[in-house]
């Protein structure tokens, strides 16, 4: 996946836009454990500031995720954006610099899109905001059915309720 910059790099102030609807670069799938669904949908803008090219990317990915509460698969839409600076300089990009290097008439977007997507995927996605998850006792999916399990009475935390602290007014007896 790349964007052509032959014209935009010639004049300061020039801006070009391009929409992408194409296969995801392999680098994007490598950044997630969830399978990508469908094509990449990206809007890319390149603006010449005189000393650099500013590339703005906004996109949407669709992945087949697994709910962190009920463990059911579901379709997850992942919006992502990034803004990066590019300078036409020889050599590979230096990770210690706050810009990328490029040479020639195109900028390869694969790793930039992959990084923007990778940090946008939720750590613990859920299928719906009110997902009830699984019963901790029997594993029943509480979105589909109920169970007769009760909370255990011998919780390992129950002893903490018996702690008394010398400065705690609730622990003093008058």
**157 within domain boundaries:** no
Structural domain boundaries, residue 41: 2-118
Residue 69: pLDDT band with limits 50, 70, 90: very high
- Residue 165 falls inside a structural domain: no
Q: Is residue 103 part of a domain?
A: yes
Residue 148: inside a domain, yes or no?
A: no
Q: Is position 41 within any domain? A: yes
| 173 vs 65: which has the higher pLDDT | 65
Using alpha carbons, select from 88, 15, 81 the residue that is nearest to residue 52.
Answer: 88
Q: Is 9 exposed, middle or buried (0-12, 13-18, 19+ CB in 10 A)?
A: buried
pLDDT confidence of residue 168: 64
Predicted model pTM? 0.75
- Tally the domains of the chain: 1
Closest by CA position to 32, among listed 1, 53, 61, 69: 61
Do the domain assignments include residue 96? Answer: yes
Structure tokens that stand for 131 in this block: 């997902």
Quick one: pLDDT at residue 92? 82
Phi, psi torsion values for 161, nearest 5 degrees? -65, -20
The alpha helices in 16-96, defined as continuous H runs, are: 26-29
| Mean per-residue pLDDT of the chain | 88
Contacts of 15 (CB under 8 A, 6+ apart): 8, 45, 46, 47, 48
Domain for residue 74, yes or no?
yes
pLDDT value at position 89?
A: 83
CA–CA separation, 121 and 123 (whole Å):
6
CA atoms within 13 A on the CB side of 35: 5
- The pLDDT score that the predictor gives to residue 44 is 95
Q: Is residue 12 assigned to a domain? A: yes
* Average pLDDT of span 62-69: 94
Of all residues in the chain, what percent carry a pLDDT higher than 70?
93
């Amino acid at each position: 996946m790349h964007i052509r910059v032959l014209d935009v790099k010639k004049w300061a102030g020039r801006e070009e836009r391009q929409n992408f609807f194409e296969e995801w670069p392999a680098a994007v799938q490598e950044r997630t454990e969830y399978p990508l669904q469908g094509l990449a949908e990206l809007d890319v803008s390149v603006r010449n500031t005189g000393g650099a090219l500013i590339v703005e990317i906004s996109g949407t990915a669709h992945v087949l995720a697994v709910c962190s509460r009920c463990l059911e698969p579901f379709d997850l839409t992942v919006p992502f954006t990034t803004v990066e600076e590019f300078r036409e300089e020889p050599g590979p990009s230096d990770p210690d610099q706050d810009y990328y290097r490029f040479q020639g008439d195109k900028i390869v977007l694969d790793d930039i899109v992959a990084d923007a997507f990778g940090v946008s995927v939720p750590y613990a996605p859920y299928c719906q905001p009110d997902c009830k998850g699984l019963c901790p006792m029997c594993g029943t999916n509480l979105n589909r059915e109920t169970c007769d399990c009760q909370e255990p009475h011998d919780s390992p935390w129950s002893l903490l309720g018996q702690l008394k602290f010398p400065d705690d007014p609730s622990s003093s007896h008058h």
